[in-house]
Amino acid sequence: MPSATCINANSASSNIIGGNDLARPRFTRLVYSGSLEKFTYNDLTPVIGREFENLQIRDLLKEGDDAVIRDLAIMG
């Protein structure tokens, strides 16, 4: 069994070690843009997270702003 520390010859410039090039994620990391800060919220606990007051998912979808939906996914 190959070691997990072997570097794939096709991806010498990548920071990711080992694995198939096609199976690697195409993004480096997700960044919260702060688009949800305009809504009223309470930070309940580190485990439960944030509760948004008077906010429905359907309202976010109607708004059609991709940044808001992306930020919600990052926080979730």
Domain ranges of the chain: 28-75
pLDDT over threshold 70, residue 47: yes
pLDDT over threshold 60, residue 5: no
Alpha-helix runs per DSSP H in the chain? 57-63, 66-75
Give 48 or 20, the one with higher predicted confidence.
Answer: 48
Note the pLDDT of residue 3: 47
User: How close are the terminal C-alpha atoms of the chain, in Å?
Assistant: 36
Give the chain's radius of gyration (CA, Å): 19
SS3 66: helix
Rounded to two decimals, what is the model's pTM? 0.55
HSE of 19 in the Cβ direction (CA atoms, 13 Å)?
A: 9
Convert the pLDDT of each residue in 14-44 to its tens digit: 565 667 777 766 666 788 899 999 889 998 8
Note the pLDDT of residue 1: 45
